[in-house]
Amino acid sequence: MVARFQALSQTIHKPLLFALWAAGGALLGALLGEGWLLATHMPASAHAVSLLIDCSGSMLGTKLLDVQSAALQFVRRRDLTRDSIAVVRFASQAQVVAELTSTLPTLEQAIQHLMAGGGTNMESGLQVAAAQLRHTAAQRHILLFTDGVPDSQASVLQAAQAARDRGIRIIAVATDDADTAFLAQLAGDRALVFWAAAGQFEEAFHRAERAIYSVAETSPAASASGFTSLLWRMSGWTALLAIGIGLGLLIGQNVYLRRQRLTLRQGVQGIGGSLAAGVVAGAVGQLLFAGVPSATAFQVSGRLVAWTLLGALVGRGMAVFVPNLDSRRALVGGGVGGALGAIGFLWAAGTVGEVAGRLLGAAILGGCIGLMIALIEAACREAWLEITYGPRETRLVSLGHEPVSIGGDRACTVYAPHAAPVAVRYRLAGGQILCEDVAAAHTVRLLPISVLDIPDVIRETRHPHLSQTSVMYC
């Protein structure tokens, strides 16, 4: 029982160590990333929205009440120190209920006093809503809510085209009995039409709101500039996160083998590789995220792909520093860790708020990546060296084609302070464990039991094809 417990503790020690160091590094990287976001903060654009609400006879009853509730929440979420909103109703005729304003009580009163009855003169509604936006320099949008088919589709499409030609963006929220194909023509983009079943109007307004305040701007030049800036900011944040994870894993590996915490060479390599991985993953995630601003499922998929890619690239990079860690398996292990961490990241982001969610999510992401990289190494090793520093401190080092060195030089894989600079080297070749005595310039194939003196170190080599354990005592 004691032997089994010791074997288990040796197996889980490194994964837990990697998880903790990677989580800590990720948290530090995310904190630096928050500083980066503050330093590169872009002043938010002002938006002017004409809230155009269908008040035809079909809206009588609970449907209008639900829309009023959703519209009230929409205007209350807005930053009216910057934005302005108009409220326009349409039935047989269109009417301005509240002119373009930044006064919340005026907007609330206008929405609360909406009444239903009459036809569906959507053409007039669009013309009146567009007229409210005529004299503003802000980003201009018409947010249309409708549950039916207009009196004349052809004239409505002409009015919508005229509004879009003036740089006004049209976003539509439609009930299940509206013609969404027609509304897609009206908006000029199917992604700007949001379907809502009864009782789900508020969620549809949320999705429409995200489309309004997305990086897509009215003019193509502004859109390209805004997207480039956002891409630069988020790639920088992800790069700092990746650097934190990468350096955390490097330090964890060195702590595990009692080596110097971080050498200059390792630091330069780790920062360079992690920086590239973070920029690539951040850019991919933002491209996928921004490409489908109206589809929550695709947004989540974009983040999942980005963090999976980040984990895979970090895992691949760690194969350079972890002895005999297969690069392809490290890629897979890091990717699995990134995918698992992405789930935790998305949960944290949606649970504890924006900034706290990013910090907690970053720690979860880093921990999962570190854990999976170490687990994949433990699961796939063919042979290994056991380094015992005392009765309760044993380290496992995978053996393979890359030599594993032990000696007093801190550049060795395993540091033994009172040994020769490089005392011995081990490697696995042709299914056999070879031991090179560097001082004697002699290499031997290890027998089931072999003994070699190295000060302060007890080493064991284990191989599944050996009937016994090879033990070297000091």
For the stretch 57-66, pLDDT in tens is: 888 888 889 9
How distant, in Å, are the alpha carbons of 51, 65, 106 from that of 177? 20, 17, 31
pTM of full prediction above 0.75: no
Q: Is the pLDDT of residue 439 over 90?
A: no
Instruction: Give the total residue count for the chain.
Output: 474
Query: Phi and psi dihedrals of 177, rounded to 5?
Result: -100, 5
Asked whether residue 7 is domain-assigned, the answer is no
Are 354 and 411 members of one domain?
A: no
Which of 330, 363, 380 finishes a domain?
380
What is the domain count for the chain? 3
| pLDDT value, residue 347 | 85
Query: Phi and psi dihedrals of 67, rounded to 5?
Result: -65, -40
| pLDDT value, residue 196 | 81
Are 349 and 418 members of one domain?
A: no
Which of 380, 405, 440 finishes a domain?
380
* Cα 362 from Cα 346, distance rounded (Å): 10
Are 172 and 250 members of one domain?
A: no
| pLDDT value, residue 30 | 94
Query: Phi and psi dihedrals of 412, rounded to 5?
Result: -65, 155
- The one-letter amino acid code at 410 reads R
Here the CATH number for the domain that contains residue 135 is 3.40.50.410
Are 434 and 334 members of one domain?
A: no
Are 268 and 399 members of one domain?
A: no
Q: What is the DSSP letter of 446?
A: P
Asked whether residue 230 is domain-assigned, the answer is yes
What torsion, rounded to 10 degrees, do the Cα atoms 416, 417, 418, 422 define? Answer: 50
Are 330 and 449 members of one domain?
A: no
pLDDT digits (tens, 9 = 90+) for 377-417: 888 877 788 777 666 777 888 888 889 888 888 788 887 77
Pair of tokens at residue 339: 């995918």
Asked whether residue 436 is domain-assigned, the answer is yes
Pair of tokens at residue 74: 């929409």
Burial group, residue 85, by CB count within 10 angstroms (0-12, 13-18, 19+): buried
> Whose CA is closest to 427, among 452, 398, 394, 459?
398
> Whose CA is closest to 123, among 160, 86, 170, 169?
160
Mean pLDDT, rounded, for 411-438:
83
For residue 136, the SS3 value is coil
Are 370 and 391 members of one domain?
A: no
What region does 310 belong to: left with phi over 0, alpha with psi -120 to 50, or beta? alpha
Asked whether residue 10 is domain-assigned, the answer is no
Q: Is the pLDDT of residue 229 over 80?
A: no
Give the residue, 178 or 85, on which the prediction is more confident: 85
Here the CATH number for the domain that contains residue 426 is 2.60.200.20
pLDDT band at 424 (very low <50, low <70, confident <90, very high): confident
Asked whether residue 323 is domain-assigned, the answer is yes
| pLDDT value, residue 421 | 87
Q: Is the pLDDT of residue 265 over 80?
A: yes
How distant, in Å, are the alpha carbons of 49, 110, 357, 421 from that of 283? 30, 43, 20, 45
What torsion, rounded to 10 degrees, do the Cα atoms 279, 348, 365, 226 define? Answer: 0
Asked whether residue 244 is domain-assigned, the answer is yes
Query: Phi and psi dihedrals of 140, rounded to 5?
Result: -110, 135
Asked whether residue 64 is domain-assigned, the answer is yes
* Cα 231 from Cα 287, distance rounded (Å): 8
Are 139 and 82 members of one domain?
A: yes
H helix intervals, 78-166 = 104-112, 122-131, 153-165
Give the residue, 468 or 437, on which the prediction is more confident: 437
Tell whether the torsion through CA atoms of 404, 417, 258 and 6 is positive or negative.
positive
> Whose CA is closest to 76, among 99, 104, 53?
104
Asked whether residue 12 is domain-assigned, the answer is no
Are 95 and 189 members of one domain?
A: yes
Are 286 and 210 members of one domain?
A: no
| Residue-range definition of the domain harbouring residue 247 | 18-40+221-380
Which of 161, 186, 216 finishes a domain?
216
Tokens 């304003």 belong to which residue?
101
* Cα 467 from Cα 20, distance rounded (Å): 36
Are 459 and 350 members of one domain?
A: no
Are 325 and 437 members of one domain?
A: no
* Cα 468 from Cα 450, distance rounded (Å): 10
